[in-house]
Amino acid sequence: MKFFKYVAVSSAFVFGVISCKKNPENQWKVEITNPAQKVQVVDISKEFYSPNVPLEDFKNKYPWFQGTVPDEDFAIRRTDQEEAKIYKEAISKIDIAKLNKELTDLFSQVKYYFPQFKDPKVFLYSSVLQGVMEPVFYQTKENMVFIDVTGFMGENNPNYKGLENYFQTSMNPQNIVPKVSEILAENFVQPNTDHQKFIDDLIYNGKILTLQDAFLPNFPDYLKMNYSQKQYEWSKENEVNIWNFFVENNLVFSDDIRLKERFIKPGPFSKFYTEIDNESSPQVGIFIGWQICKKFFTEKPEAKLPDFLKMSAQEIFNQSHYKPKN
């Protein structure tokens, strides 16, 4: 696998190569005439740890927050200094005004492409590091988005000791809005349960990232992939080689379920089972699926997102004419 490229020291050269290519996400920069209402996130934990907020008032305001925790334990947790310390450190790293604006812009973009979309209420809270693996979730029925602030304390934060480094790559404040966009996008994309070939997994994830392109036209691509910038550069530089590996090993239309573990699921790297593995970026299958979808819109810029989402993986692949070249 010597044909795989290592990311060069000169990042300026890498960016130069990338920027010379047509940038598909430029088509997602649209004029918003019906913006979402200005978002004002609600910090639940700020009230939870405040001695000035009576417990009964808090429970009445957020009756669903206590869950199954007994009243006695719930009251004790409010005065737990260690828990409060973790929350205060986490919230101090987040620029609330910036977050409000970015979420407003995000919801405005979603609304542009899907007019039926209703702006969700957004809540911040602290799981005290218990929910950092899935720090953003969306309650569709109640139309509420919940963001666990302890999931974005910054890569290599001492509180993350023992957590695999590859998870920490996307645990920075700048990852909050891309993760919210990912959760929203997933609600618009239906997985194809009829066909479970590798191409179906590629295009399913490619559709989600295409929506993120539409929802976040001004965000860098590496954040949408939950990549570091270096990981994104490696995948971009090796796009041709990754695709050739898939083709030459007859993986594209394979129904081998192990391919999802090798190239789709999170991990420290992708599993080509060669000497390049430790140097590779994880989830290159998702990256390739995204590039196929980008190529589709390069070929068919007039295509509408709702129609695109209804298309099968085979249709998108065929009409994309995807065949990357150096």
Q: Where are the domains of the chain?
A: 42-186, 190-320
What's the number of CA atoms in the CB half-sphere (13 Å) around residue 49? Answer: 17
Q: What separation, in Å, do the N-terminal and C-terminal C-alpha atoms of the chain show?
A: 16
8 A C-beta contact, residue 209 and residue 286: yes
* Strand partners for 139: 144
Strand arrangement of the beta sheet that strand 121-125 belongs to: 42-43, 121-125, 144-148, 136-139
Radius of gyration of the chain (CA): 21
Three-class secondary structure assignment of 143-157: CEEEEEHHHCCCCCC
Q: What is the three-class DSSP state of 42?
A: strand
- Report d(CA 28, CA 185) in Å as an integer: 15
DSSP calls for 85-132: HHHHHHHHT--HHHHHHHHHHHHHHHHHH-TT--PPEEEEE--TTSST
Q: Give me the pLDDT at residue 133, please.
A: 94
**For residues 135 and 151, is the Cβ–Cβ distance under 8 A?**
yes
CA–CA gap between residue 306 and residue 319 (Å, rounded):
16
* Residues sharing a CB contact under 8 Å with residue 18, sequence separation 6 or more, in sequence order: 236
Q: What distance in Å separates the CA atoms of residue 38 and residue 103, rounded to the nearest whole number? A: 8
Query: What pLDDT was estimated at residue 80?
Result: 96
β-bridge partners, 42: 123
User: Residue 39 in contact with residue 107, Cβ under 8 Å?
Assistant: yes
Q: From residue 3, give the alpha-carbon distance in Å to each of 245, 278, 279.
A: 10, 15, 13
The pairing of strands 144-148 and 121-125 is parallel
Look at residue 192 in the predicted model and tell me its pLDDT: 74
**Residue 144 contacts residue 123 (beta carbons within 8 Å):** yes
Token reading at 307 = 């129609």
- From first to last of the 326 residues of the chain, give the pLDDT tens digit: 444 555 543 333 333 333 344 444 478 999 999 999 999 999 999 999 999 999 999 999 999 999 899 999 999 999 999 999 999 999 999 999 999 999 999 999 999 999 999 999 999 999 999 999 999 999 999 999 999 999 999 999 999 999 999 999 999 999 999 999 999 999 999 887 776 899 999 999 999 999 999 999 999 999 999 999 999 999 999 999 999 999 999 999 999 999 999 999 999 999 999 999 999 999 999 999 999 999 999 999 999 999 999 999 999 999 999 999 88
As a whole number of angstroms, the distance between CA 1 and CA 277 comes to 10
**43 phi and psi angles, rounded to 5 deg:** -90, 95
pLDDT of residue 42: 98
State residue 25's pLDDT score.
44
Enter the pTM of the model: 0.91
What is the C-alpha separation between 160 and 156, in angstroms, rounded? 7
Amino acid found at 283: Q
